[in-house]
Structure 1
């Protein structure tokens, strides 16, 4: 979990931004908050600095009904900072400040085993990946080839999602596969869109794991 600094003006590069405003960020925390807002139960395990930003982030999780008992505060490292913007060409630009930051220093001994035990049945249930990540993991193989996708499966994986940005999403299980087209909407800012998507998927699967036994296009469309 980290602090995002976002330009006060839209469609500019980081160098062109006149000023920045802070906001909580980090994909795992975004997903946890999304699940809680959808009525689900979620928890966050991670480390932040024992500083004002770190405690602010912990309080934000609590205010959004996310269990933050798994958070740890490092007195020797700062909370991570990221500057992020959506440029006029539609591309996002990131700049991270880590030296290293506290989120990179979580030790196994600091993990909250109680939270992990309660969530164990959902570990490795779903994997979400982009086309670029498929190419990287398969050393440049075709991310649209179903045979290539199947190489990424492991014994505990129940569902693999391949996100295609505005074009939608492909889904694969051991028994079926398919594709859901993207919905045409007026774009404001794509930051966090993937996190919201994953939160919606997980909130549905967590309420009824048997949904994995039927075509999952309804859940993805939701």
Structure 2
């Protein structure tokens, strides 16, 4: 049985070389780097030691080869990834602003990533996994929503669990269909991994504890782990809350930090790691992710995370 099944967009990412660089004028861009939120998550989970399978679609081009090579190298089962001769692999161009924010230009809807549909779901994969991880960013069109719904149905029927990172993005939340899909996943998920922005979207501008209490009261999920960026995370269930502080590092590239956090956490849970240890490793993975340029370049093994944690403790 596979520990974790992931599904969603596969992207090649090209990033601006310098902070303050604009899309409106010529500049130096670096890449391509393998990317896509579910792909980053899957790669990190595999590096932690979980068995991971992926369902998706990439173009039959160099970008697609780049992504599949990285996932395969790190131990992800890519047999569920199809290749398209008609559409190219999805892309994401990113620039970094002086205030720390980022600007993206995506090509997902006119790429191979948009070809995912209900028929993409391998029933054997979905019926034989412990966890199916859903990304809000992967609910971008009717086909991908149908695919996620089908996978959820099969996973739940076979006794698997659903983890969900809402990853709320303004560019996709304008669609009522996508909003409905996100709330449908909330109804069935066992583990919710929201950011502060996600909590505000779901519950309004209320304290974190109040938002979490509302969600635990409304839905049947077992746990919520709130990602608070450089402030760490907080684990909640119906009996307790466990805050876990972050590791302070110099940020080079924030892309993928939350995905590395989630991939590490779910990988640990799938292998029976106790929650405090899982949260510590997840925070370390998120911290290490931002120290390297490129969405997957900071992905780390347990051994690397333990060395990092040990070095940070010695500095205190």
Q: State the alpha-carbon separation in 2 of the partners of residues 221 and 78 from structure 1.
A: 38
Alignment of 1:54-69 (within 5 A): 54-69=64-79
**Partner SS, residue 50 of structure 2:** coil
Q: State the alpha-carbon separation in 1 of the partners of residues 272 and 277 from structure 2.
A: 13
Residues 186-222 of structure 1: per-residue CA shift (max 9 Å, x gap): 222222111111122112101017x4xxxx3332122
User: Post-superposition shift, 1:66?
Assistant: 0.4
User: 1:13·1:93 contact (CA, 8 Å) conserved in 2?
Assistant: no
Q: 1:103 to 1:170 in 2, by over 3 A?
A: same
**Partner SS, residue 43 of structure 2:** helix
1:37 aligned to 2:47? yes
User: 2:230·2:247 contact (CA, 8 Å) conserved in 1?
Assistant: yes
Alignment of 1:166-205 (within 5 A): 166-205=230-269
1:147 to 210, 214, 217: 210
1:50 to 49, 60, 63: 60
Which structure: greater helix fraction? Answer: 2
Q: State the alpha-carbon separation in 2 of the partners of residues 122 and 68 from structure 1.
A: 21
User: 2:57·2:112 contact (CA, 8 Å) conserved in 1?
Assistant: yes
1:117 aligned to 2:176? no
User: Post-superposition shift, 1:99?
Assistant: 4.2
Q: State the alpha-carbon separation in 2 of the partners of residues 217 and 85 from structure 1.
A: 35
1:219 corresponding residue in structure 2: 278
User: 1:122·1:206 contact (CA, 8 Å) conserved in 2?
Assistant: no
TM-score by length of 2: 0.62
2:98 to 88, 97, 100: 88
Q: 1:57 to 1:145 in 2, by over 3 A?
A: closer
2:272 corresponding residue in structure 1: 208
Alignment of 1:148-163 (within 5 A): 148-153=211-216, 154-155=219-220, 157-163=221-227
**Partner SS, residue 49 of structure 2:** coil
Alignment of 1:89-104 (within 5 A): 89-104=99-114
User: 1:161·1:171 contact (CA, 8 Å) conserved in 2?
Assistant: yes
Q: How many residues were matched structurally?
A: 213
1:3 aligned to 2:12? yes
User: 1:50·1:73 contact (CA, 8 Å) conserved in 2?
Assistant: yes
Residues 137-194 of structure 1: per-residue CA shift (max 9 Å, x gap): 23x231x242322333432x22211111111112212322232222212222222111
User: 2:32·2:63 contact (CA, 8 Å) conserved in 1?
Assistant: no
What residue ranges of structure 2 are gaps of 5+ in the alignment? Answer: 1-9, 130-154, 164-189, 282-316
Q: State the alpha-carbon separation in 2 of the partners of residues 14 and 112 from structure 1.
A: 42
TM-score by length of 1: 0.85
